């Protein structure tokens, strides 16, 4: 299972990559593996929206289940991945790359301290198995 060390993670299986003041958000390799084949992605926020940590920013559906994707941090949405709803299978094939969902300008960077690093996320997965 792929857990890149440069990313931060949530208990709910989202990842965030921070570059400067901008965070890019998606779901993890473990999450896509649990969900199996993803058939539908809907991004619920638009560019310019103010979002709070814990807000739902996307809905994904697989042949097994539907799941919400939650914001790992608060801020302003500066971009959404418009291609993803047309290529939901990208979440399975490239969860940390082409399947990013939103980019957010962080309003409270200290929230990052509350997220998991790769080894803590790995431990969380092991505990839930």
Q: What are the structure tokens assigned to 37, written together?
A: 């084949």
Q: Shortest gap between Cβ of 94 and another protein (angstroms)?
A: 17
Nearer to another protein, 71 or 106 (CB): 71
- Count how many residues are written for the chain: 129
Q: Shortest gap between Cβ of 37 and another protein (angstroms)?
A: 5
6 binds another protein (CB under 8 A): no
52 binds another protein (CB under 8 A): no
The rounded distance, in Å, linking the Cα atoms of 99 and 95 is 5
**Residues in 88-127 at the binding interface with another protein, rule: CB under 8 A:** 88-89
The rounded distance, in Å, linking the Cα atoms of 56 and 115 is 17
Select from 1-9, 35-43, 93-101, 119-127 the region that touches another protein (CB under 8 A).
Answer: 35-43
Q: Which is nearest to 108 in space by CA: 72, 80, 55?
A: 72
1 binds another protein (CB under 8 A): no
65 binds another protein (CB under 8 A): yes
Nearer to another protein, 35 or 106 (CB): 35
Give 1-68 as a DSSP string.
----TTSEE-TTSEEEEEETTEEEEEE-HHHHHHH-SEEEEEE---TT-EE-TT-EEEEEEESS-EEE
63 binds another protein (CB under 8 A): yes
Positions touching another protein (CB under 8 A) are: 37, 39-40, 61, 63-65, 88-89, 129
């Amino acid at each position: 299972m792929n857990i890149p060390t440069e990313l931060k993670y949530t208990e709910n299986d989202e990842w965030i990559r921070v570059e400067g003041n901008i965070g890019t958000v998606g779901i993890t390799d473990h999450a896509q593996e649990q969900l199996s084949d993803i058939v539908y992605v809907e991004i619920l926020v638009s560019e310019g929206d103010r979002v709070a940590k814990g807000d739902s920013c996307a809905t994904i559906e697989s042949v097994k289940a539907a799941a919400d994707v939650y914001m790992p941090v608060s801020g302003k949405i500066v971009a959404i991945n418009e291609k993803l709803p047309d290529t939901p299978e990208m979440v399975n094939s490239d969860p940390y790359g082409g399947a990013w969902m939103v980019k957010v300008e962080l309003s409270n960077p200290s929230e990052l301290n509350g997220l998991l690093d790769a080894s803590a996320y790995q431990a969380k997965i092991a505990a839930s198995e």
